[in-house]
């Protein structure tokens, strides 16, 4: 059992619904996110993270209004100095969202209700997305006077299978539902029901992953991140450099032995943060 209490926060609740699976339920995302995910990233007893929402109708309530606003940054400065102040906030937000992508463990995002703006940035930085049939989505930034700048425009089009739809949704800002999210490949699955059901489905999927070899799982996430941003040949080269060490793990033998003995293999934790 992992001591998950260390990951509780003012705006979210941590639990371990299955062995080595950390469930983080937020009622307001954001400023704590970078710190929590960074700390979880170094905890090898946690092998998969599920991110969900505690709110009834929204996946996230938007930015914490008690935080200083990006838009108000450097109001009294010349436009160049104000730009640098704004950029400081932006890159901080970008870095926070990117912790989900860069953290050691895979992250499954269980979505229900409305997912607008920030919720798309955040879920696009997760590895897998599931949603309930009542989910609604929107890349709303264009409707409030700005271009999405903390990841949606970078990650969303590389996730979904239609360049035409990706641009249509980002340029119109229109709402789309669970079925359309599935059709374009944004979510892996639409789960009948709502918050409770999608969380259960995500935990079940997390449990499958948590039972696989930790060396294999963290390497697979790490190498898929690399592959997305490089040519096939560069990806192969990096993989060879990576796996020349990883193939020396005990997990392959542990897996084979368990298979022969018709048991579930037991793997050691990896003991490090990627």
What residues from 44 to 73 belong to the interface with its own copies (CB under 8 A)?
70-71
Q: Which of residues 87-106 bind its own copies (CB under 8 A)?
A: 87-88, 90-91, 94, 98, 101, 106
Binder of its own copies out of 5, 65, 68, 80 (CB under 8 A): 80
Of the pair 4, 190, the CB lying nearest its own copies is at: 190
Query: Least distance in Å: CB of 57 to its own copies?
Result: 19
Query: Least distance in Å: CB of 60 to its own copies?
Result: 18
Query: Least distance in Å: CB of 8 to its own copies?
Result: 26
Q: What angle do CA 11, 15, 20 make, to 5 degrees?
A: 135
Binding flags for its own copies, 150-189, as an x/- string (CB under 8 A): xx-xxx-xxxxxxxxxxxx-xxxxx---------xxxxx-
Q: What is the DSSP letter of 110?
A: E
Q: What is the DSSP letter of 143?
A: G
Per CB under 8 A, 8 contacts its own copies: no
Q: How far is Cα 236 from Cα 92, in angstroms, rounded to an integer?
A: 32
Query: Least distance in Å: CB of 248 to its own copies?
Result: 4
Q: What is the DSSP letter of 248?
A: T
Q: What is the DSSP string of 168-180?
A: HHHHH--EEEHHH
Query: Least distance in Å: CB of 152 to its own copies?
Result: 10
Q: How far is Cα 120 from Cα 240, in angstroms, rounded to an integer?
A: 34
Length of the chain: 274
Q: Segment near its own copies (CB under 8 A), from 8-16, 28-36, 49-57, 86-94?
A: 86-94
Pairing relationship of beta strands 114-116 and 189-191 according to DSSP bridges: unpaired
Of the pair 157, 193, the CB lying nearest its own copies is at: 157
Q: Segment near its own copies (CB under 8 A), from 2-10, 14-22, 29-37, 226-234?
A: 226-234
Q: What are phi and psi of 86, to 5 degrees?
A: -60, -45
Residue 27 burial class via C-beta count within 10 angstroms: exposed 0-12, middle 13-18, buried 19 and up = middle
Per CB under 8 A, 196 contacts its own copies: no
Of the pair 24, 150, the CB lying nearest its own copies is at: 150
Choose among 267, 250, 201, 252: nearest CA to 47.
267
Of the pair 146, 179, the CB lying nearest its own copies is at: 146
Q: How far is Cα 118 from Cα 169, in angstroms, rounded to an integer?
A: 15
Q: Which of residues 235-264 bind its own copies (CB under 8 A)?
A: 235-256
């Amino acid at each position: 059992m992992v001591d998950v209490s260390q990951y509780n926060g003012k705006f979210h609740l941590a639990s371990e619904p299955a062995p080595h699976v950390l469930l983080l339920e937020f009622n307001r995302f954001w400023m704590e996110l970078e710190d929590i995910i960074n700390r979880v990233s170094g905890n090898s007893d946690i092998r998969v993270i599920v991110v969900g929402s505690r709110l009834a109708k929204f996946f996230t309530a938007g930015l914490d209004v008690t935080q200083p606003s990006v838009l108000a940054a450097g109001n009294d400065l010349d436009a160049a100095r104000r730009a640098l102040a704004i950029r400081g906030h932006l890159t901080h937000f970008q870095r926070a969202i990117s912790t989900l992508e860069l953290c050691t463990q895979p992250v499954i995002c269980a979505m229900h209700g409305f997912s607008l703006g920030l919720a798309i940035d955040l879920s696009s930085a997760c590895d897998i997305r599931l949603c309930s049939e009542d989910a609604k989505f929107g890349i709303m930034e264009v409707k409030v006077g700005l271009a999405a700048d903390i990841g949606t425009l970078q990650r969303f089009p590389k996730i979904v299978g239609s360049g035409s739809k990706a641009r249509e949704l980002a340029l119109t800002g229109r709402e789309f539902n669970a079925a359309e999210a599935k059709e374009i490949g944004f979510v892996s699955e639409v789960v009948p029901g709502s918050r409770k059901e999608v969380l259960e489905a995500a935990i079940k999927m997390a449990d499958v992953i948590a039972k696989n070899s930790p060396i294999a799982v963290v390497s697979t996430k790490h190498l898929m991140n690399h592959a997305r941003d490089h040519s096939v040949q560069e990806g192969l080269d990096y993989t060879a450099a990576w796996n020349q060490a990883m193939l020396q793990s005990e997990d392959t033998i542990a897996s084979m032995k368990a298979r022969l003995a018709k048991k579930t293999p037991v793997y050691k934790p990896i003991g490090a943060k990627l």
